Amino acid sequence: MQSTFERHVGAVLEGPVTRGGGAVDIAILIPCFNEEGAIGGVVRAFREALPNARIYIYDNASEDRTVAVGGAAGAIVRHEPMQGKGNVVRRMFADVEADVYVLVDGDGTYDAGDALGLIRHLREHHVDLVNGLRTGVHVRRGHQLGNEIFNRIVGWLFGSRFTDMLSGYKVLSRRFVKSFPALATGFEIETELTVHALQLRMPVAELPTRYGPRVDGSASKLRTIRDGFKILWAIITLIKRERPLAFFTAGCLGLVALSLGLAAPLAVTFIETGLVPRLPTAVLAMGLMVLAFLSLACGLVLDTVTRGRIEMKRLHYLSLPAAGET
């Protein structure tokens, strides 16, 4: 007996992709910047894997023939002039309507043949995000180390549910995409996608996907040090925005420790002599202690605001149909 998913996909493969009549509307989203050498093969591979899915190329001001090659291969080509993967993803999520979204890089490193398995898992298990766990030997050591560090930080702060959050291969439900605010501008968008899912406690999954080498003529746009710092800064910003009580409490404790460190010798001197010989240091210590409690107060206020904002995001998320229920 066929599963619900197989009946849906069968309808897609046998007839037009529509929002009604039980068919699964699948959109493949490919952000591109100077991927002339790889994009044609990527489009053809996904066309073969999912014949009736709509394939979108969003060109990010490429300076080569990416648009011409992608269009000739059969993709729908659109443009986002503001540089940065985050800007492109925000535009794609705003423009495209579908039941299931496959987000994949245009460099040819991800296997299109894995898409059907990822979609099947999303539909049958009613999850909102299936993350592609990269397997293979073609991930650079610096990227592997940075990825592991960032995964540990995010897991410690928001919950450990992914081991490769920076993967560029993700399958998303409609209610994930249409409830995602998309504030990032660059490669830190992967971190923001992960935190969005963890913060709203969405049902998610992570499945292994094959990761291969880039095709000849395709160069990586990721710069290990520069983009690593951007991702780290994005994590710090997300902590401040989504976990303000923890963020400002840490600042409070740091200021209290510094204040006590400065005040301790003065207290000893005062007990022994009854004098305060270094008045500026005493004033500084007192000022730091005041700032510490102001930081704690900010954390308490912002935590209440954040909880209200998360509740509103959660209610909007719940107002959309669940994956597999279209």
Tell me the pLDDT tens digit for each residue of 15-54: 334 334 457 899 999 999 888 888 999 999 999 999 989 9
The arithmetic mean of pLDDT across residues 194-218, rounded, is: 85
**Given this model, what pLDDT does residue 18 score?**
39
What does the alpha-carbon distance between residue 108 and residue 60 come to, in Å, rounded to a whole number? 17
Q: Considering the domain boundaries, does residue 15 fall inside one?
A: yes
Q: What CATH number should be reported for the domain holding residue 23?
A: 3.90.550.10
pLDDT > 90? residue 207: yes
Tell me the pLDDT tens digit for each residue of 122-137: 999 999 999 999 887 5
- 276 and 169: one domain? no
- 209 and 268: one domain? no
**Given this model, what pLDDT does residue 243 score?**
87
**Given this model, what pLDDT does residue 126 score?**
92
- 222 and 294: one domain? no
What does the alpha-carbon distance between residue 122 and residue 325 come to, in Å, rounded to a whole number? 11
- 71 and 209: one domain? yes
pLDDT > 80? residue 103: yes
Pairing type for strands 54-59 and 76-79 reads parallel
Q: Considering the domain boundaries, does residue 237 fall inside one?
A: yes
pLDDT > 70? residue 326: no
Where does a domain end: 241, 261, 290?
A: 241
- 216 and 77: one domain? yes
**Given this model, what pLDDT does residue 242 score?**
81
Residue 93 CA neighbour count, 13 Å, CB half: 22
- 235 and 119: one domain? yes
Q: Report the chain's mean pLDDT, rounded to a whole number.
A: 84
- 173 and 259: one domain? no
Where does a domain end: 203, 219, 241?
A: 241
**Given this model, what pLDDT does residue 252 score?**
95
What is the value of pTM for the model shown? Answer: 0.77
- 254 and 122: one domain? no
**Given this model, what pLDDT does residue 95 score?**
93
**Given this model, what pLDDT does residue 3 score?**
47
- 259 and 235: one domain? no
Ramachandran class of 171: left when φ > 0, alpha when ψ lies in -120 to 50, beta otherwise = beta
Question: Hunting for tokens 């308490």 — which residue is that?
Answer: 300
Q: Considering the domain boundaries, does residue 54 fall inside one?
A: yes
Where does a domain end: 212, 241, 270?
A: 241
Q: What angle do CA 135, 130, 220 make, to 5 degrees?
A: 50
**Given this model, what pLDDT does residue 199 score?**
87
- 204 and 141: one domain? yes
Residue type, 144: Q
Domain count for the chain, please give it: 2
Tell me the pLDDT tens digit for each residue of 271-323: 778 777 788 888 999 999 999 999 999 999 999 998 888 888 888 888 888 77
**Given this model, what pLDDT does residue 137 score?**
55
Domain residues for the domain of 256 are 243-317
Tell me the pLDDT tens digit for each residue of 147-204: 777 888 888 878 788 888 888 899 999 999 999 988 878 778 888 899 899 988 999 9
- 126 and 173: one domain? yes
- 226 and 267: one domain? no
What does the alpha-carbon distance between residue 160 and residue 284 come to, in Å, rounded to a whole number? 41
**Given this model, what pLDDT does residue 14 score?**
38
Tell me the pLDDT tens digit for each residue of 238-259: 788 888 998 999 999 999 999 9
What does the alpha-carbon distance between residue 41 and residue 35 come to, in Å, rounded to a whole number? 10
